[in-house]
Chains A and B, each alone.
Chain A
Amino acid sequence: MIIVENLSIRLGELEIVRGLSFTLAPGEVLGLVGESGSGKSMTALAVLGLLPPGMRASGSIRFEGQDLLRLSERELRAVRGRRIGMVFQEPMTALNPVMTIGAQIAEGVIRHGLADAAGASKRALRLIARVGLPDPAARLHAYPHELSGGQRQRALIALAIACRPALLVADEPTSALDVTVQAELLALLREIRDETGMAMLFITHDLAVVSRLADRTLVLYGGRAMETGATRALLAAPRHPYTHGLLAAIPRGNAHANPLRPMPGQVPELDRLPPGCPFFGRCPKGDALCRDVPPPPVPGASIAWCHRPEAAP
């Protein structure tokens, strides 16, 4: 349904994303996981055609028969919001503060020619109820500032799915929320996926969230793919030392009983990466080959871009 091939994103000399490829089938959730500087958010923006000025994407993003990277802004606007929905971490910046929730949901539906004003308003009411906002008829006329953070994120989800998109791009949609609200919203997104069969590109730094939602996972580091595969398999037996390190960094139990062994060093700056694997320098297995030569994808239970991948257990 979406086929991303050899996607690179540059800002001048700086390569923010290099040679990324992935696919999504209808109804499938792909978790894009990484720390700061991994390129995960820029990848999401490239799919939406919303890269910041100065950034250039190359490669191809094929979606419903067209290459999104070759569309004009006008053509992209017909896709964005209609066939591809989006949810971001901070709903306050994505919602219009001077428009009611109902009007914002209806606006997109009308703009994309899916219903007239009355039909759009009815659809807005149904969606507000669907995403679990209390007293939907009243929320239709509420402004964003009248809602709590969790409610705003629900409203944003209603807005994102209003035109029944085939793909939802969600960038850390629950990361700023309390854990109890976060758990509810993840369940909501799962339900909507099951009901509508939309695919989801879910961007997060949190492996626990990925384990609950994503069918497949792609781990990024320093703008490059480290490992990809079925989420269960990848988390049960990571083959890339970076995936392994990420899992080992999650606290389990108490320090006395289960001390963490964090990976050393800092998250790298993109202009200081070695020519080979970006994880070289922090990797316990790194050697001269890793430093100098970009690792090829090594197939197995998952695909790992690593010269020294773990063998299957």
Chain B
Amino acid sequence: MPDKIALSTRSLTASFSGKTAVRDISLDFDDHTVTAIIGPSGCGKSTFLRCLNRMHELTPGGTVTGSVMLDGEDIYSASSEPVELRKKVGMVFQKPTPFPTMSIYKNVAAGLLVADKKPDPSRETEIVEKALRGAGLWDEVGDRLKSSAMSLSGGQQQRLCIARAIAPEPKVLLLDEPTSALDPISTQRIEELVHVLKKDFTVIAVTHNMQQASRISDTTAFFYMGDLIEAGPTDLLFTNPSNSRTEDYITGRFG
């Protein structure tokens, strides 16, 4: 496993209108690995994720201190632009969010419109196909790229959103509870997909489902009430947690 660090946070603290949601988090994410962030609801795991592509500051009252290093630069430095950053850090949300006015094709190509170098039409077609294949959706929609994205099932819509997120070839892919709105079969497909995705991306996934975390991730971080309690290799954390609260959580004593 390559252990080059793709993204790291230092003393990251995030709050809503003065109320701290995430406290002093320093965490490294290795290149081409899947990191799962687990913890009970309200523990700050989604807020933490949203700090990594500067989405948190869009929430009214949301503020961030500390730093997040990507490619040797702090994404919160004054010279960093959130809009540019987000092209490098893709995100998939809890509920599928296809753009309802666009076709399947246009949805996947949506991120390419704002790419630094806009691909020409034939290249764009290639990228869209590659992204749809990457998201495991090509076989199902390859023959109807022009139909509305809303004609897809919930699970297909979520994979379409993954395709849309990976089409611009970001470095990091953030998944915010990507299967919590899906049925078991769709969930399974996305879990399988995550394994494939880490070949090309660094994946950071928030999940409230511990089984899922153990199935998909290489590394797991456990959050509790805004604090990072413990982080480490997934098999180790689940079999031999070093902190008693981690143990309580993964053995189902709370949360």
Is chain B a partner of chain A in the same complex? no
